[in-house]
Amino acid sequence: MLERMIFPKSLKLFGITLYRGPVDRAGPQPAGTMSDIIYVINGPNLNMLGTREPEKYGRATLADVEALCRDAARRHGFAVEFRQSNREGDLVDWIQEAGKTKATGIILNAAAYTHTSIAILDAIVAAQVPTIEVHITNIHAREEFRHHSYVSRAAKAVLAGFGIDGYALAIEGLAALTKPGRG
């Protein structure tokens, strides 16, 4: 309470409203402004990272991926909403949330839903938030059914095959893309 009085969330000075950032995580964003939040959204089975199939997905856990993302994001002044779910609808809800809160970007590893989900594609299109698709493995060097991605149709960029470093690289890319005057 006292903090809110000393450091208000917004301050109107000479007709200009200044917003303190990072603003309330995932809270509503004033009309027309972009938050400094990036959503890192992970799909089904990625909670098992580091516990099975290390030859394919490596030994790092999802907690390691989160730490990596927070580190990369901090370098660019982004706050991170890091999420994982095994349910398609959760991914859709979070993409919508990123749109409503005017997130700076979404880093999305939709895992197997990449190859099946028109619902996730529709959510990305509707959200109008730059979305970087990430895959730990090179999906094009794997089974035929992994070669097609619905997500790619709406993604600003795609990274596949860099292992978990792809997440950090995606955040670097997002920072470059969202610099004023770029796009």
Q: Which residues are catalytic?
A: 57, 135
**Binding region for ligand CA2 (CB under 6 A) out of 12-20, 77-85, 109-117, 169-177:** 109-117
**Residue 88: both structure tokens together:** 């398609």
Residue closer to ligand CA2 by CB (options 58, 70) is 58
* Spatial CB neighbours of 64, under 8 Å, sequence gap ≥ 6: 49, 50, 164
Q: Are 150 and 121 in contact (CB under 8 A)?
A: yes
Q: For the chain, give me the number of helices (H) and strands (E)?
A: 6, 7
Q: Are 79 and 37 in contact (CB under 8 A)?
A: yes
Interface with ligand CA2 includes 136 (CB under 6 A)?
yes
# binding residues, ligand CA2 (CB under 6 A): 16
Interface with ligand CA2 includes 107 (CB under 6 A)?
no
Alpha-carbon distance values, 39 to 1, 19, 62, 110 (Å): 28, 20, 15, 13
Q: Write out the binding residues for ligand CA2, residues 43-102 only, by CB under 6 A.
A: 45-46, 48-49, 52-53, 57
Interface with ligand CA2 includes 137 (CB under 6 A)?
yes
Which stretches of the chain bind ligand CA2, using CB under 6 A? 45-46, 48-49, 52-53, 57, 109, 111-112, 114, 135-137, 139, 146
